[in-house]
Amino acid sequence: MKVSRFFVTVAMVLMCLSIMVGAADYDSVLDKIKATGVLTIGLAQTTPGAYIDIDTGEWTGFTVKVFEGLAKEMDVELQIVETSWDLFLIALNNGDFAVFGSTTFYLPTRALQVAYTDPILYKGVGLVAAADDDRFMTLDDVKAAASVKIGVRLGAVEETVVPQFVPDAEVISYKTDTAPEIAEGVRAGITDIWAADEVMQRLYLLENDWAKLIGVVGSHPIGFVVRQGDATWLGFLNSYIAYIRGSGELAAYFEEFGQPIGTLYPPQF
C-alpha cells in the first residue's frame, strides 16, 4: 500500500510539472514564438489584403505575403486562425493569435483595447452608389441628402466613420466577411450607398459598371494590431514593417495584388 501511494504521489508531481511547463509564462509573445517555433496570425477576409482564393481554398493577399515572409525570416511555422471583423478584437485579447494580420484602420476607440503597429499603408472609406442614381454625384450630395441609407460591414471602421461624416444617415450594418456583398443591397434598392475600404471598392468597380464611386472620406493610417503591454513584440513588428517598406518588398506585394502604390505614403495636405 505504501508503494502504491508513493507512485501515486510521483505521478501527481509529474502531472503538475507538465502543466506548469505547458503553461509557461513568456516575457513577450516574441519569446513564445521563438520557443514554440510557431507564429499564429488572425485573419478576417478583405480584398486585396487577405482573402481565401476560391480556386485553391488557400489564404492569399499582400498581408498574407508579409507574414509568410516574416515566418520565413524567423524560421518558424506560420499558422492562420480565421476570425471575423466583429470578433477579432475579442479573439486577439483572448490570446487566439499573436497578431491580427488583416490591416485595420486606426480608431481611438480601438486603440484603447489593442496596440497598433506603425502604419503599413494609408487609405480612406469610399462611398459607392448606383451609377444611374443622380441624387448622389458628390460627397456633398450625400451630406445634404434629406434621407439616405448607407450599408456598412459590422465591426468595420465605416461603422464609426459614416455617422461622423453623415450624422443624419440611416446606417445599416451587415454581418459579413465579404464586403462586396453589401453592394448588392444598393443594387436591390435596400440601401442607397455602400461604404467600405476604398481600394476594395475600386477593385469591385472594375467588374461592376452598374455602380460608381462618389468619393472617398479621409485617408487613415492602417496597421496591424497586437495585445497591449508587449513593447518587445510591437517593436519587433515595427522594425519589420520599416524593413519591408524600405527594401521595396512591400511595394512588390502591393503590385502583385493590385493595391495602389500610392497608399504606401501618408496624405499630403
Report H helices in the chain. Answer: 2-22, 29-36, 62-74, 88-93, 108-111, 139-144, 158-165, 180-187, 198-205, 231-247, 249-257
Q: CB within 8 A of 176, min separation 6: which ones? A: 153, 154, 182
Q: Tell me what the mean pLDDT of segment 146-161 comes to.
A: 91
Task: State the chain's mean pLDDT as an integer.
Answer: 90
What is residue 5's predicted lDDT score, i.e. its pLDDT? 53
Q: Is 238 exposed, middle or buried (0-12, 13-18, 19+ CB in 10 A)?
A: middle
Locus of grid cell 459590422: 154
Q: Residue 131 is inside which H or E element, if any?
A: none
What is residue 177's predicted lDDT score, i.e. its pLDDT? 73
Between residues 182 and 2, the one the model is more confident about: 182
- Fold match, 27-121+221-260 / 124-218: yes
Q: Grid coordinates representing 233? A: 513584440
Q: Residue 190 is inside which H or E element, if any?
A: none
Per-residue pLDDT of 171-210, as tens digits, reads 999 998 777 889 999 999 999 999 999 988 998 999 999 9
What is residue 266's predicted lDDT score, i.e. its pLDDT? 86
Residue 25 pLDDT grade (very low, low, confident, very high; cuts 50, 70, 90): confident
Please say if the pLDDT value at position 8 is more than 70. Answer: no
What is residue 15's predicted lDDT score, i.e. its pLDDT? 47
What is residue 9's predicted lDDT score, i.e. its pLDDT? 47
Q: What is the CATH number of domain 27-121+221-260?
A: 3.40.190.10
Per-residue pLDDT of 206-258, as tens digits, reads 999 999 999 999 888 999 999 999 999 999 999 999 999 999 999 999 999 99
Q: Grid coordinates representing 112? A: 484603447
Residue 156 pLDDT grade (very low, low, confident, very high; cuts 50, 70, 90): confident
Buried b (16+ CB within 10 A) or exposed e, 79-118: ebbebbbbebbebbeeeebbbbbbbbbeeeebeeebbbbe
Per-residue pLDDT of 29-65, as tens digits, reads 999 999 999 999 999 998 899 999 999 999 999 999 9
What is residue 24's predicted lDDT score, i.e. its pLDDT? 58
Q: Grid coordinates representing 169? A: 444617415
Locus of grid cell 501511494: 5
Please say if the pLDDT value at position 82 is more than 50. Answer: yes
What is residue 263's predicted lDDT score, i.e. its pLDDT? 93
Q: How far apart are the first and last CA of the chain?
A: 83
Q: How many angstroms separate the CA atoms of 210 and 218, rounded?
A: 25
254: how many CB neighbours lie within 10 A of its CB? 22
For the chain, the domains span 27-121+221-260, 124-218
Amino acid at 232: T
- Residue 60 Cα distances to 48, 53, 256, angstroms: 8, 6, 11
What is residue 20's predicted lDDT score, i.e. its pLDDT? 41
What is residue 167's predicted lDDT score, i.e. its pLDDT? 94
Please say if the pLDDT value at position 125 is more than 90. Answer: yes
What is residue 179's predicted lDDT score, i.e. its pLDDT? 75
**Which region holds residue 229: left if phi is over 0, alpha if psi is between -120 and 50, else beta?**
left
Q: Residues, the chain, total? A: 269
Q: What is the CATH number of domain 124-218?
A: 3.40.190.10
